Structure 1
Amino acid sequence: MARTTVSPPVSAAPPTSNPAVRRRRFSGRTRRDFFTFLAFALPNLILIAAFTYRPLFSNIYYSTLNWTLGAKTATVVGIENYITFFTSPDARDVLTVTAVFTVFTVGGSMLLGLLVSLALNLKVRGTTLARAAVFAPYVLSGVGVGLVWLFIFDPVYGALAWVLRGFGARSPEWINNPDLALVMVILVYVWKNLGYCAVVYLAGLQSIPRDVLEAAQLDGAGAARRFFSVSLPLLSPTTFFLLITTLLSSLQAFDLIRIMTPTGNGTNTLIFEAYLQAFGGFNRAGYSATVSVILFVLLLVVTGFQLRFVERKVHYS
Structure 2
Amino acid sequence: MIAIQELAKARPKEPPKVRTKPKPAEAGDNRAAMLFLAPWFAGLFLITVGPMVASLYLSFTDFSLLEPPTWIGVDNYVEMFTDQRLHTALRVTFVYVFVSVPVQLAFALGLALFLDRGLRGLAVYRSVFYLPSLLGGSVAVAILWRRIFGNDGLINQVLSWFDIQGAGWIADPRFALGTLIVLNVWTFGSPMIIFLAGLRQIPVTYYEAASIDGAGRLRQFRSITLPLLTPIIFFNLVLQVIYAFQSFTQAFVVSGGTGGPVDSTLFYTLYLYKEGFANLNMGYASAMAWLLLLIVGALTAVNFLLSRFWVFYDD
Q: TM-score by structure 2 length?
A: 0.89
Match of residue 55 from structure 1:
51
Aligned counterpart in structure 2 of residue 294 of structure 1, from 291, 295, 306: 291
Q: Which residue of 216, 224, 229 corresponds with 1:230?
A: 224
Could you tell me how far 1:274 is from its partner in structure 2?
A: 0.5
Q: 1:6 to 1:152 in 2, by over 3 A?
A: closer
Matched letter for residue 183 of structure 2? V
Match of 1:304 in 2: 301
> How far does the alpha carbon of each residue in 1:130-181 deviate from its partner, in whole angstroms, 9 at most, with x for none?
32222111112521111111111001x2111222233333222222222311
> In the alignment, is the contact (CA less than 8 A) between 1:240 and 1:311 conserved in 2?
no
Residue identity matched to 1:58: A
CA displacement 1:221-279 (0-9 Å, x = unmatched): 11111111111111112111101111111111111111111210212222111111123
Instruction: From 73, 79, 85, give the equivalent of 2:80.
Output: 85
Query: Which deviates more from structure 2 when the two are superposed, residues 141-150 or residues 8-17?
Result: 8-17
Q: Is the 8 A contact 1:213 1:226 kept in 2?
A: yes
Q: Which runs of 4+ in 1 moved over 6 A?
A: none
Note the 1:173-212 alignment, pairs <5 A: 173-191=168-186, 193-212=187-206
Alignment of 1:108-119 (within 5 A): 108-119=103-114
**CA separation of 1:15/1:174 partners in 2, compared to 1, >3 Å: closer, same or farther?**
farther
Residues 179-202 of structure 1 show CA distances to partners (whole Å, capped at 9, x for unaligned) of 3111111111111x2121211111
SS at match of 1:102: helix
Residue of structure 2 aligned with 1:273, choices 266, 271, 274: 271
**More displaced stretch, 174-183 vs 27-36:** 27-36
1:35 matched to 2:31? The reply is yes
Q: 2:158 aligns with which of 157, 160, 163?
A: 163
Q: 1:259 aligns with which of 253, 265, 289?
A: 253
The reply to whether residue 138 of structure 1 matches residue 133 of structure 2 is: yes
State how far apart, in whole Å, the 2-side matches of 1:216 and 1:28 are: 61
Letter in 2 for 1:35: R
Aligned AA (1:186)? I
TM-score between the two structures when normalised by the length of structure 1: 0.88
Q: Distance in 2 between matches of 1:73 and 1:51?
A: 22
Match of 2:146 in 1: 150
SS of residue in 2 equivalent to 1:72: coil
Q: Secondary structure at the match of 2:188?
A: helix
Where 1:208 maps in the other structure, the secondary structure is coil
Distance change in 2, residues 1:195/1:8 (3 Å): closer
Return the offset for 1:101.
Answer: 0.8
Q: How many residues align?
A: 307
1:164–1:7 CA distance, 2 compared to 1 (3 A)? closer
- Offset, 1:46: 2.0
Give, as a single letter, the amino acid of the residue that structure 1 aligns with 2:298.
Answer: V
CA deviations 1:79-134 (Å, max 9, x no partner) are: 10111112222232222111111111211110100011111111233544332222
Q: Report the secondary structure of 2:5's partner residue.
A: coil
Cα distance change, pair 146–9 in 1 and its aligned pair in 2 (3 A): same
Provide the residue aligned with 1:125 in structure 2. Answer: 120
Residues 229 and 33 of structure 1, relative CA distance in 2, 3 Å threshold: farther
Tell which structure's C-alpha radius of gyration is larger.
1
Tell me how far apart the structure 2 counterparts of residues 245 and 231 of structure 1 sit (CA, whole Å). Answer: 21
Identical aligned residues as a percent: 27
8 Å Cα contact 2:86-2:271 kept in structure 1 = no
Counterparts of 2:42 and 2:12, CA distance in 1: 46
**Using a 3 Å threshold, how does the CA distance of structure 1 residues 232 and 8 change in structure 2: closer, same or farther?**
closer
Q: Secondary structure at the match of 2:215?
A: coil
